[in-house]
Amino acid sequence: MYAEHGLAFHFETLVDGRSHALLFDFGRTSHAFIRNIDTLKMGFDKLEALALSHGHLDHFGGLVELLKSRREKMPKGIPLYVGEDAFAPSGTGKGPDNVRVTHHLKKEDVEGLGLVDIVEIKDPTPIVPGAYLTGRIEKVTDYEKVDPGRWVRRGDHFEVDNFVGEQSVVLNAKGKGLIVLTGCGHVGIVNTVKHAQKITGIEKVHAIMGGFHLTGAEEERIQRTVADIKAMAPDYIVPMHCTGFEATVVFAKEMPDQFILNTVGTSYIFSEGSLT
């Protein structure tokens, strides 16, 4: 297995005895992403959808090459779900006139392959049976601020990137509660989970997994985030990717019975019994 600063998930839901598979995010580089797919012997026979959390390289990097290299195995016309700004150039800078573009997935590069049906969403949306994308995530905390100095081009000019289109995945494990799966969580992991609870009407949280975007965060934000997540009483907390070492350590210390240290290639099975 290859590890890199990227994120990619393959998951299956089981609804009424039938499996439904989805790819959510596509790593940073096609080399690592496709190598790991091959190592895991991942099949495409149950694949029903693709979804992208947001338009940053460490999440879309392997997408185009995946489509090219698996065009004979990929179901033609498979939906690719994206949020707003997924194809907009974005980057960092001190102001809108000096932005250094670091991320840009070109829509024409994806559409030009003639394999996927791009579905741009704003609202909570079912993607495969048992799994939903969040749509726009409501910001309700006062401490989860979007990184300053990030910009996205809308129309012919750059605007502050508020990650309005970033998507997370929400599932409801039968008899267990919600599973919330984030890409980066730029809008805040607490905001994301609270939004999942609101749109589903389900308070119980079974697992929170993914990038929590706390790398380099101030200690106060980390402590408040961990305290709010702890108050939600999830059964499992699995920080990944951009959560950062400091925040991961605090989660491990404050939630030792729920904490799982993730590594690349790990499989999780959530069932009516225990996690395996």
- Write the pLDDT tens digit of every residue in 42-65: 988 889 999 999 999 999 999 999
* 3-state secondary structure labels for all residues of 3-67: CCCCCEEEEEEEECCEEEEEEEEECCCHHHHHHHHHHCCCCCCCEEEEECCCCCHHHHCCHHHHH
d(CA 7, CA 92): 21
Taking 70 as the threshold, does the pLDDT of residue 24 lie above it?
yes
Domains, the chain, in order of start with CATH, read 1-133 (3.60.15.10), 168-261 (3.60.15.10)
State the chain's mean pLDDT as an integer.
96
Could you tell me how far CA 31 lies from the centroid of its own chain? Answer: 20
Q: Please state, for a pLDDT cut of 90, what percent of the chain lies above it.
A: 95
Record the pTM. Answer: 0.96
- Write the pLDDT tens digit of every residue in 95-138: 999 999 999 999 999 999 999 999 999 999 999 999 999 999 99
- Write the pLDDT tens digit of every residue in 186-236: 999 999 999 999 999 999 999 999 999 999 999 999 999 999 999 999 999
Handedness of CA 171, 242, 53, 156 (dihedral sign): positive
Q: For the range 197-201, what are the long-range contacts, defined as Cβ-Cβ under 8 Å and sequence gap of 24 or more?
A: 198/138, 199/124, 199/132, 199/134, 199/135, 199/170, 200/132, 200/170, 200/172
d(CA 180, CA 124): 13
